[in-house]
Each structure stands twice: as structure tokens, then as C-alpha cells.
Structure 1
Amino acid sequence: MAATIAVASAKGGCGKTTTVILLATYLAQAGYRVTVLDGDINQHAAAFGLLSDLDNFRVVPDITEANVLRAIRTAEADGADVVIIDLPGGTSVLSLKAMHCAHLVLIPTQTSLPDVKDAVKTTQQVDDAQEMARIPIQRALLWTRVPAGFESVSARHVRQHVEAMDLPLFRTALMERAAYREMHVTGKTPAQTDPMGAAAANVAAIAEELLARLTPKENA
């Protein structure tokens, strides 16, 4: 059975699709067969999929509440090792169905109080899916679009506030990098354009942490 990861947020603009693409392509380059299901209204992951030339990586567009369960089953039947679902912002039946099937719900959020409030709303939606599934569903927040260097007072306050809430949180943050914006134009990942660069190293650290979080589930 494939490991299924739902990437969700109650709002847009938090780097959700960028996170999906970076993790999916890293895993594909590491030898995993990865299928991305694009349920976001903007279909940016699907657009990237048309540009990309990576092996082991494909994107299925136009995922809706009507076809998401079938799409997950099809991806598994086609031999996917990992299925990553790019969900639309907000709450929806599509999100609930995807979370219900997920081994992990990854919640990207920026270091601002409004973003964190929306991330908490998303964790509450995971709780609803967990009640439906009647089994625990892992979830974790991922800081995104974090500027390199100096941390502002407000960002530090928000980060400390989340840490005090004891929410599951990735140790590594997704930094703000030009390479992450450029890949939507070029179809090339940071590991393809500059494999020894800071952007590629940042993605690798997050992806390896993701794999570590999935390992107990896969061995259960």
C-alpha cells in the first residue's frame, strides 16, 4: 500500500503547492514512485507536471470530491509508493475524504498569527476525519516561506506560541528561496538546477524528516 500524504491548509498563499512539488520531486529523485493528485483550484501542480521531465513522478489533475478516492486507489494499483494530495484551501468534502485516507496530513503555515489560526482550523478538520476513520491520523505543521537570516520579533512570538501549544511541528522550516518560485517556470527542481545549493539542502532535510515520520506507519 502506498503512503498517502494530504497537504492541507484552511487558506491559500502559504506555500502549499510549492511544498507538494518539492517533496514529491525529491522522493521521485530518491527512487520512490510518486503520484501527485492535484485538487487545488489553481492546478499549479498539474502545470508543473507538464513541464517536468523527472522519472517516477506524475501528476493527476482535476481531483474532486467525486473522484479522489478512486484516484488514490488507481495510483496504488499503478504501483505508486507515495501519493501526495494537494488540497484546496478551506474546508471541504474533498479535504475530509483525503484526510480520511492519509497516513499523514501536512499543514504548511507561515509565521503569522492569522496563518497559525488557520492552521489550527485545519488540525480540527483532521480531528473530524479521524473520528470518521476511527483510527489515529498523524498531522504536523510545517513553517513555510521563512526568510533566511534575521527572525522578526513577531515571527519569534508566533513560533513560540505554537511550540507552547504542543502541536506536532517539523523541526526544519521551508525557507523563502528564489529557486522555489523559478521551478514553476522552468519545471526544474532545485536538485536539478543546483544540487549542492541551499535550496536543495533545505528540501532534502524536510523530505528526510517526512520519511522518518512515515516509517512507523509503514511498519505497523
Structure 2
Amino acid sequence: MHVITIANMKGGVGKTTLSLLLATELALEGHRVAMLDCDFNQHGAAFADKASIPNFTVIGDVDEDTVLPALRDAKSTHDLVVIDLPGVSSTLALKAFQRSTLVLIPSRPSLPDLRDAIRTNTQVDDAQELRGSPIPRAIVWTQIAPGFESRASRHVRSALDGRGVPVVSVGLMDRVAFREMHITGQVPRQVEPKGSPAENVAALTGAILAALTPATEVV
């Protein structure tokens, strides 16, 4: 049983989009996936109201008082749980981190966003100390525009040197399809299975799954 938490103390970096794309891609592959929508805006729950995706469930209005019962219930009926956290440091985040198989920290390729990603990583360190065992985590580049390997982006990458924070080998591109899905309730794989957005999601999901091993499962 895996619990993947999507977190960044900064808003607007694509947490909910990443959560939905990952959860729905795995559901379309046949896994039973629950997403806990802990974000104040409840965009994940709004998407689920429009969507028709087998094996995919969103549990909305989850807060620090209800996250543990919601997680226990979801784990009893699903193969995997994705937790979409709000963009703040909170007790809710610490509870989610302590019960995570993997924490993904989305960040746009800019130094201000990366600083917040690093601060989030420090909070995962705090949860790890409380749990008493390692909490795997990784940064995911999001909203990547053409030219990501520009001089500025290489500078952002170099800012991670020596910090020991892994980076997922595939990032999430900046695609219109990822914004339109909130309007249509359809993910790219449903609209154009062979299109570039769908291929990007499949490659990213594969890279994330590669970080999950039986040894990291939680019970």
C-alpha cells in the first residue's frame, strides 16, 4: 500500500494538477486510487464532480482533524492514496508526511519557487525525525516551458547541488491540456491518448513509480 503526498509550502506550483494527473493515470491503468483533497480551493473535488474515470475517487474537505480517519478509510478500499496538501506549513502536512511512502515536491524552475521547495523539504525532515524512519522525497519540475535547459534553468538546477534532494527524471510540461482538464473533467489520455500531453503524463508517472519499491510500502 502506497501513500504519495504532493506538497509545497508555496501555492501556484501545480500541486493539484500533478495530484490529479498522477492519480488518474494510475486509475486508468487499473489501480484503485483515492485522492484526498486537503487544499482550501477544493479544485480536485471539483474535477471529480465532472470526471468519469473508473477506479478513481476524490475525498474532499479533508483537514488536519479528518486526514487520519480519511486515510485509514481510503487505504482499506484502494491500492494507492494521493494526498494533495494546501500551500502552507501545518500540522496537517506533518501528519500526512509521517504516513507517506513518498513525498513529491512540485516546483517551477525558478529560484523563488525552489527556495520554497527546499523549505518544504526541511519540513519533511521534521516529520522524518518524528516518525523515526526515512521518508523518501523528490522534487518534480512543473510548468516547464521550452528552453528549460537555458542558462537560468541550469542555475536553478545547480542550486540543488549538495542538498541531497533527488529530482524526478521527468518533469511536467506547461500544456494547455493540463489547464483545460479542470474545465472538461477529462485528462489528456482520455482526449488524445497519443498526444504529447498524455505521453508526458505517462512518462512522469513511470518515473515516479520507479521510486516506489516494496520496501517503502506502508501499512
Deviations, residues 68-121 of structure 1 (Å, cap 9, x unaligned): 0000000012x2111000001020000000001000000000111111110000
**Unaligned residue ranges in structure 2 (runs of 5+):** none
Q: Which residue matches 1:200?
A: 198
Q: Which stretch has the larger CA shift, 151-160 or 10-19?
A: 151-160
Shift of 1:216: 4.0
For residues 124 and 110 of structure 1, what CA distance do their matches in structure 2 show?
18
For residues 168 and 117 of structure 2, what CA distance do their matches in structure 1 show?
14
Q: Which residue matches 2:74?
A: 75
Distance 1:128 1:219, change over 3 A: closer
Q: Which residue matches 2:178?
A: 180
**Unaligned residue ranges in structure 1 (runs of 5+):** none
TM-score by length of structure 1 reads 0.95
Where does 1:98-117 land on structure 2 (aligned, <5 Å)?
Answer: 98-117=96-115
Structure 2 residue matching 1:22: 3-state secondary structure = helix
Maintained 8 Å contact 1:6/1:84? yes
Where does 1:1-220 land on structure 2 (aligned, <5 Å)?
Answer: 2-77=1-76, 79-149=77-147, 151-218=149-216
TM-score by length of structure 2 reads 0.96
Structure 1 residue matching 2:211: 3-state secondary structure = helix
Q: CA-atom RMSD, angstroms?
A: 1.4
For residues 22 and 163 of structure 1, what CA distance do their matches in structure 2 show?
28
For residues 125 and 218 of structure 1, what CA distance do their matches in structure 2 show?
19
Maintained 8 Å contact 2:101/2:217? no
Structure 1 residue matching 2:212: 3-state secondary structure = helix
Structure 2 residue matching 1:165: 3-state secondary structure = coil
For residues 17 and 60 of structure 1, what CA distance do their matches in structure 2 show?
13
